[in-house]
Each structure stands twice: as C-alpha cells, then as structure tokens.
Amino acid sequence: MTGAFWLPLAFEGEAHLKFVSVNYEQVEGAVVARVTIDRRHKLNAMNSEMVTQLIETFDSLNGEPDLRAVVLDAAGEKAWIGGADVREMGAFVSSAAAAAFIGRLHAAMLSVRNLPVPVVAKIDGFCLGGGMELAAACDLRIASTAARFGMPEVRVGLPSVIEASLLPGLMGRGRAARLIYTGEVIDAAQAEAWGFVEEVVSRPDLDTAVERLIGSICKAGPRAIRAQKKLMRHWETVDPDTAAEDSIEVFGAAYESDEPAKLLGQVFSGHRED
C-alpha cells in the first residue's frame, strides 16, 4: 500500500529527470566532489525523485577512497532548498504514505551525515524546512547574505521532524524552539549569530569562502579527517565521558599509519604551510 503513494510524480511531468549532479575538482591536490541540486523551477524543493537521487549520489560517494570533501550546492539564486515538495505532500491520502516519504527524506539526510568525509553546505537564497534540515545534516555551512532560514512546517499543520532534531545542538534549545514553534524566517546574519552557519559572506564572495574552507580541510591528513568525521558522528550518540574514552583508541590507531609522523615532521622542520 505504501509504495503506491511513494512516487506520485506523473502530475509533475518530472519522472526520470536529473535533479542531482556530481562534478569533481582538485583542491590542494586532493579530490573534492561538488554535488549540485537543480530543480530551480520549483525552488529546489525536494520531491521523491530528488530524494532518491540524493541517496544514490551520496551512497556512491561513500565508496570513493580518494575523496577528501564534498560541497553541497544548489542551482539558482532564489533558493538553496525551498523545503519538501508541498504539492507532493498534499497528494498523500494516508499516514503511511506520509511516513514513507519522510522516512526516505531522513535516509537522504543520513547518507550525508554518514559520508566519511566532511560535507560543506554552500547556501544561497531560501533554506526552509527540509532544506534547513539538510543543511543541518552537513558538517559545515557557509551562507551568502541573501540566505534566509526557517522551519515553517507548523504553519501548514505539520511538526518539524527527522533532522530538525539536530537544531538544538547547533543553535541551542531555545532558539531552535523559537524557529520550529513560530515558523518565522531569519536572515543569514541572525543564523550566524545563533550558531547555525559558520560564516556569512556577500554573494560574490561565496565561492571563494567555500573554496578557502575546503582548501583548509584538504591540507589536513586524509586519514585523520576520516577518523574525525567518524568520531563526530559517534559523539552525537553518547555522553561526553563515553565520547572521551572512546576517542583514546582512535587516537592510538592514528599511529598505525605514517601520516602523523609525516605531518608532524613537516611542522617541526618548518616546511608546513598553514
């Protein structure tokens, strides 16, 4: 029964269209993937087909051993992600269909969170509802001054769920509660002040700011970055004391490769570039 309502795409005329693409770049001699979402005619709203493509894309990237980082980008200037597709959600005729949709959306977010390398969200325009949750699923967020953030689900009779659970940890419980209880939209400066985004720059400077951050990541030890990402995910699930104890073994395991000796040697010899 659920499957009958999972892909109601015929009315959109968008079945089998490509909404997610991947391009590879070299940054500091390292492989970086740029994942671009393009459904700009619908403000990049996430429908079932896009969600499936996101899962497939990040699952594929998960298997690339030389990958060092990912930039999650979106086409157009009006919206990074305008949320989940309200037209598709409005066509659900059962709670099972609604749960199936949001479950798959959560799977897409997990594919981003579980990627073994950092994912940087490059945010321009509206970042609303599921879009803000997708941004929260990324490791780091850089926004243009034109970005706008909000969780408007309650205004259409729905609770904010899945990766909205990450918002209290990113911006504090009270600020997260304000967004999800009121549905109000905040600008990029407020999102930065509240701790949701790490940096805000002018729209013309957005590419440069993202490239600078990605370059810093790529200068770090690749094994160390993957170990750190794995630890960051683990720390989300345990208390601080357990997190500290569990980190000790990972630190020791870092010395099973020559990466620490090589990079520490560069520091001591004065040849390391910051």
Residues 137 and 253 in one domain: no
Instruction: Phi first, then psi: give them for residue 106, nearest 5 degrees.
Output: -60, -40
* Alpha carbons 37 and 26: distance in angstroms, whole number: 20
DSSP per residue, 89-147: HHT--SHHHHHHHHHHHHHHHHHHHT-SS-EEEEE-SEEETHHHHHHHHSSEEEEETT-
Predicted pLDDT at 71: 98
Residues 231 and 209 in one domain: no
Q: Which two tokens stand for residue 159?
A: 């609770």
Residues 22 and 130 in one domain: yes
Quote the domain boundaries for residue 253: 222-269
How confident is residue 94, by pLDDT bands cut at 50, 70 and 90?
very high
* Alpha carbons 271 and 111: distance in angstroms, whole number: 37
Residues 158 and 98 in one domain: yes
In order of 68, 218, 253, 270, 274, the CA distances from 267 in angstroms are: 21, 16, 21, 5, 10
The burial class, CB within 10 Å (0-12 / 13-18 / 19+), for 224 is: middle
Predicted pLDDT at 14: 65
Predicted pLDDT at 15: 64
Predicted pLDDT at 13: 59
Residues 71 and 125 in one domain: yes
pTM: 0.91
Residues 202 and 235 in one domain: no
Q: State what percent of residues in the chain have pLDDT above 70.
A: 92
Residues 85 and 13 in one domain: yes
How confident is residue 123, by pLDDT bands cut at 50, 70 and 90?
very high
Predicted pLDDT at 263: 87
Looking at the DSSP bridge assignments, the partners of residue 79 are: 126
Averaged confidence pLDDT in the chain: 92
Considering its fold, how many domains does the chain have in total?
Answer: 2
Query: Is residue 179 in some structural domain?
Result: yes
User: For the residues 152-162, what does the mean pLDDT come to?
Assistant: 96
pLDDT at 9 over 50: no
How confident is residue 12, by pLDDT bands cut at 50, 70 and 90?
very low
User: For the residues 85-108, what does the mean pLDDT come to?
Assistant: 95
Residues 39 and 147 in one domain: yes
Residues 262 and 194 in one domain: no
Query: Is residue 274 in some structural domain?
Result: no
Q: State what percent of residues in the chain have pLDDT above 90.
A: 88
DSSP per residue, 164-233: GGGHHHHH-HHHHHHHHHH--EEEHHHHHHTTS-SEEE-GGGHHHHHHHHHHHHHHS-HHHHHHHHHHHH
Residues 193 and 248 in one domain: no
